[in-house]
């Protein structure tokens, strides 16, 4: 393979004093490509389904590793535009299937700085200021969960799945092979974490109304052997339901079981004076999962595991001489290796810190309140629209509904038709033994007319002849 001729300039770096000047024209290219790609897409997702979307992308991208590069501007322009044109864009009000938020511009801009500086959060000498920022912000967010605790703390994670895994790991290391007890409504990452950690098969408690049945939990805890870890949920992925946290905490205290609460979805209700009481009992858990790339409007990833005592994560402690040598730690260099199971990890705390400072509690509360209010309005529209059925009033911002005469097969077909035509991204959820369309609203900019337009899409789809309510 030939080498570049002498004198060929090296590609510029993002950091240092010269980095911003090198980035500025590239950012203009990226922003233009984002704009052009969104215009070309013209909706919440690309039309055509997996085959045509893949074909268009590969046609634009060409060889993955060309012999001769095309240059930074062309590469950015082509690939960013192609990815944007083929994206499911959560900033579009008709993209409402999952806990997939539209990130705030201020948080996204902060994420650029994190990428340019590229600290690695596994040792102080790679991230001097970032490690101090992470400690400061993590403790402040943990104090939202545990306002009465003397030394609350939080670990930064990639999201709810990692946080739940860490919670089970910490419980196992503290108590031995704990028996996980969770509701039928629990996130799939909890039983998966039990499998991953070699714990006993989880005990699943019925959740006939979408939340854990306290009487069934009481019975299960009476019959089981210790040690026990109960996992409750504050915001299920299917319906947004919140388990009766205070009742569950009381049962855990009575049966000497430890409590973990997965509040990956519902945790940011803490910012709102209107909605925070829905989380009463949260502070009684030994560990709490939070996830700000859901109802926190952060770019992925922005997860946390909050604990009431900074000593709780001690079982994660680990020593690698090149990162946290004993004499360095004794000399006062912070030991960061025990704050995660990952070694290299990016400073996701920066975008969170910038958002907290930029918006403040009132600004965050306003976003939470607007989003929850939009879900209530969508529920009102459904209830007042002939031919549509609402499953239940939303607890947070998830709304389940269906055409009244549709079968489950119809529901699945409606969703796929909207996806294939690029008209809307709606989720699906099974509740009360039926399949429902799911709108997970996370866009605080969504208007009443946006919601009306979303429902009008359904009226434009004709159900097959002979469809009946099932």
Inter-axis angle of helices 214-223 and 245-255, nearest 10: 20
14-51 in b/e form (b: 16+ CB < 10 A) is: beeeeeeebbeebeebbeebeeebbeebebbbbebeee
Inter-axis angle of helices 19-41 and 72-85, nearest 10: 30
Provide Rg for the chain, Cα atoms.
24
* Predicted confidence (pLDDT) per residue in 343-365, tens digit: 999 999 999 999 999 999 999 99
The C-alpha atoms of residue 131 and residue 119 are separated, in whole angstroms, by 9
pLDDT value at position 8? Answer: 79
Kindly list the averaged pLDDT for each block of 10 residues, start to end, along the chain of length 470: 71 96 97 98 96 97 95 98 98 97 98 97 97 98 97 98 98 97 98 98 97 98 96 98 98 98 98 98 98 98 97 95 95 95 97 98 98 98 96 98 96 96 97 97 97 92 53
pLDDT value at position 462? Answer: 62
pLDDT value at position 160? Answer: 98
Q: What is the reported pTM? A: 0.95
The tokens for 187 are 């996130």
* Predicted confidence (pLDDT) per residue in 84-119, tens digit: 999 999 999 999 999 999 999 999 999 999 999 999
């Amino acid at each position: 393979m030939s080498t570049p001729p002498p004198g060929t300039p090296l590609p510029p770096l993002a950091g240092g004093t010269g980095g911003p000047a090198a980035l500025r024209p590239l950012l203009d290219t990226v922003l233009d490509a984002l704009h052009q790609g969104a215009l070309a897409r013209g909706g919440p997702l690309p039309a055509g389904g997996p085959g045509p979307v893949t074909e268009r992308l590969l046609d634009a991208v060409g060889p993955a590793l060309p012999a001769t590069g095309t240059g930074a501007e062309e590469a950015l322009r082509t690939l960013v535009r192609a990815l944007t044109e083929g994206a499911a864009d959560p900033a579009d009000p008709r993209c409402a299937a999952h806990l997939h938020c539209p990130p705030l511009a201020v948080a996204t801009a902060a994420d650029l700085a994190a990428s340019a500086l590229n600290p690695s959060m596994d040792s102080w000498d790679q991230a001097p200021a970032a490690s101090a920022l992470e400690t400061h912000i993590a403790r402040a967010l943990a104090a939202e969960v545990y306002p009465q605790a003397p030394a609350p703390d939080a670990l930064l994670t990639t999201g709810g799945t990692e946080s739940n895994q860490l919670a089970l790991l910490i419980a196992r290391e503290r108590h031995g092979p704990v028996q996980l007890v969770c509701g039928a409504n629990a996130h799939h990452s909890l039983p998966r974490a039990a499998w991953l950690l070699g714990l006993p098969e989880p005990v699943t408690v019925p959740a006939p109304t979408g939340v854990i049945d306290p009487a069934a939990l009481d019975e299960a805890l009476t019959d089981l052997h210790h040690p026990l870890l109960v996992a409750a949920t504050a915001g299920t992925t299917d319906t947004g339901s919140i388990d009766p946290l205070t009742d569950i905490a009381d049962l855990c205290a009575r049966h000497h079981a430890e409590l973990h609460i997965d509040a990956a979805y519902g945790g940011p209700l803490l910012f709102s004076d209107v909605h925070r009481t829905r989380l009463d009992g949260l502070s009684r858990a030994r560990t709490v999962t939070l996830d700000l790339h859901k109802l926190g409007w952060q770019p992925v990833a922005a997860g946390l595991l909050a604990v009431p005592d900074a000593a709780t994560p001690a079982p994660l402690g680990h020593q690698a001489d090149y990162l946290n040598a004993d004499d360095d730690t004794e000399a006062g260099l912070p030991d960061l290796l025990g704050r995660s199971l990952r070694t290299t990890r990016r400073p996701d705390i920066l975008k969170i810190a910038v958002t907290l400072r930029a918006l403040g509690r009132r600004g965050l509360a306003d976003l939470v309140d607007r989003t929850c209010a939009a879900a209530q309005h969508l529920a009102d529209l459904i209830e007042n629209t002939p031919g549509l059925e609402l499953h239940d009033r939303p607890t947070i911002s998830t709304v389940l509904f269906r055409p009244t005469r549709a079968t489950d097969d119809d529901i699945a077909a409606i969703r796929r038709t909207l996806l294939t035509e690029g008209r809307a991204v709606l989720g699906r959820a099974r509740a009360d033994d039926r399949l429902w369309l799911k709108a997970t609203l996370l866009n605080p900019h969504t208007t009443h007319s946006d919601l009306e337009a979303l429902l009008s899409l359904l009226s434009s789809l004709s159900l097959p002849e002979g469809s009946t309510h099932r």
